[in-house]
């Protein structure tokens, strides 16, 4: 099976300029070209792009994905390196969730305070104007 860039795009739900971008930064190897200089992809490359998109959907950065791909290509890697990358990413995701939950609470408090008040001024603005001496 040989794919044009448009076909690959449909297959992987990855936009055409994004595919070219991945090639530019060396995440996808340079595609073969047709007689007229158009990109032609193999199933292997399609598989790799699936891997990249799947990883992106899980929130891995392009840099992390580069590492994962390297681990895949390097036969003699430590079995647990990919595991470590994933583990590290999990920790980051959990931190992010914690941060956002705190944020949610602060927003809620702000909005609720405003609801209680029947006055002309929205307390949201007042609340944002209060200098929080706590954070850093």
Partner DNA sequence: ACTTGAACCTCTAGTTACTAGAGCTTGTAT
Partner DNA sequence: ATACAAGCTCTAGTAACTAGAGGTTCAAGT
Binding segment for DNA (CB under 7 A), chosen from 9-17, 42-50, 76-84, 120-128, is 9-17
> Contact between 58 and a copy of itself (CB under 8 A)?
yes
> Contact between 62 and DNA (CB under 7 A)?
yes
- Cα separations (Å) of 106 from 61, 85, 97, 112, 119? 29, 32, 14, 10, 21
Binding segment for DNA (CB under 7 A), chosen from 57-65, 78-86, 91-99, 102-110, is 57-65
Rg value, the chain, Cα: 23
Residues that bind DNA (CB under 7 A): 4-7, 9, 15-18, 20-21, 31, 34-39, 56, 61-63
């Amino acid at each position: 099976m040989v794919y044009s860039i448009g076909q690959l795009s449909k297959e992987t739900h990855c936009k055409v300029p994004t595919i070219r971008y991945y090639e530019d930064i060396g995440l996808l190897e340079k595609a073969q070209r047709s007689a007229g200089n158009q990109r032609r992809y193999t199933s292997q490359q399609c598989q790799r792009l699936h891997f990249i998109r799947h990883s992106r959907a899980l929130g891995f950065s392009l840099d992390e994905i580069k590492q994962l791909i390297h681990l895949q290509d390097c036969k003699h890697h430590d079995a647990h390196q990919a595991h470590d990358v994933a583990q590290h990413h999990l920790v980051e995701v959990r931190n992010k969730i914690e941060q956002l939950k705190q944020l949610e609470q602060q927003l809620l408090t702000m909005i609720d305070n405003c609801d209680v008040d029947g006055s002309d001024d929205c307390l949201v603005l007042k609340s944002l104007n209060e200098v929080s001496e706590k954070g850093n």
